[in-house]
C-alpha cells in the first residue's frame, strides 16, 4: 500500500498494489496494521455503501462531536470526484479542500479525518461508493455546509444543469455562516 500525502496534512490517498493477470486482479484494499502505523490510530466500526447516477452531488457532510467521524472512501464501480474540506477553525488550511478522482480502475482511496466536511460528485453514468467510518451515524449530530459555497472554490467537474442534490444539501449554509463545530485546538481523537 502506497500512502500519498496531500496539500492538507492528515488527508491522505491510499494506493493499493494491484496484481493483475488474465483472470482479473487481486488487491489488499485495507490493512488495519498498515493503516494504524502509517495513516491514523483509529478503528473503523461501520461500512457504508451508496449507489448514485451521473450528476449526483452528495455533501458536504460531517458529524459533530461526540459523534465526529473519520472516513476511508473508495469507488468500486464508476468514477467520482471526492472532496474533503477543512472546517477546523484556527487551522492554517481552514476552508481549503482536497479533491481526488476515485475510480473503479485506479483503486485509490481517500482518508478524511475528523474535522473535515466530505462530499463527492458522480462523473460516470453510475457509481457505487463505499466508505468505512470510525464512529456510528447519529442523526442528531449531523452537520453540513453548502456544496456550492463560492468561497470554497470547488470545481465539481459537472455542468450546473446536471447537478442533482438533496433538498437538505440544497439548503445548507456557507462555511462562513456555519456554526464553528470544530476548532484546531480541540482533540478529535
Q: Known catalytic residues?
A: 61, 131
Query: Buried b vs exposed e over 123-132: b needs ≥16 C-beta within 10 Å?
Result: beeebbbbbb
**If DSSP codes are grouped into helix, strand and coil, which group holds residue 35?**
helix
Give the cell for residue 97: 479542500
171 burial via Cβ count (<10 Å: 0-12, 13-18, 19+): exposed
The answer to whether residues 146 and 170 touch, using CB atoms and an 8 Å cutoff, is no
Closest CA to 104 of 84, 125, 83: 125
Tell me how far apart the terminal alpha carbons of the chain are, to the nearest angstrom.
24
Q: What is the dihedral of CA 4, 123, 74, 145, to 10 degrees?
A: 90
Amino acid at each position: 500500500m502506497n500512502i500519498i500525502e496531500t496539500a492538507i496534512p492528515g488527508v491522505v490517498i491510499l494506493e493499493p498494489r494491484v496484481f493483475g493477470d488474465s483472470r482479473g486482479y487481486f488487491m489488499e484494499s485495507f490493512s488495519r496494521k498498515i493503516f494504524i502505523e502509517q495513516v491514523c490510530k483509529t478503528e473503523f466500526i461501520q461500512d457504508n455503501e451508496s449507489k448514485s447516477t451521473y450528476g449526483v452531488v452528495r455533501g458536504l457532510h460531517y458529524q459533530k462531536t461526540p459523534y465526529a467521524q473519520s472516513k476511508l472512501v473508495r469507488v468500486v464501480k464508476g468514477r467520482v470526484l471526492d472532496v474533503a474540506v477543512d472546517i477546523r477553525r484556527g487551522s492554517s488550511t481552514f476552508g481549503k479542500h482536497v479533491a481526488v478522482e476515485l475510480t473503479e480502475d485506479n483503486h485509490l482511496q481517500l482518508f478524511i479525518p475528523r474535522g473535515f466536511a466530505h462530499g463527492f460528485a458522480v462523473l460516470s453514468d453510475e457509481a457505487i461508493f463505499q466508505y468505512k467510518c470510525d464512529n456510528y451515524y447519529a442523526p442528531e449530530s449531523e452537520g453540513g455546509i453548502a456544496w456550492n459555497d463560492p468561497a470554497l472554490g470547488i470545481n465539481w467537474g459537472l455542468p450546473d444543469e446536471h447537478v442533482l442534490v438533496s433538498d437538505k444539501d440544497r439548503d445548507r449554509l456557507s462555511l462562513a455562516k456555519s456554526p464553528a463545530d470544530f476548532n484546531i485546538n480541540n482533540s478529535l481523537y
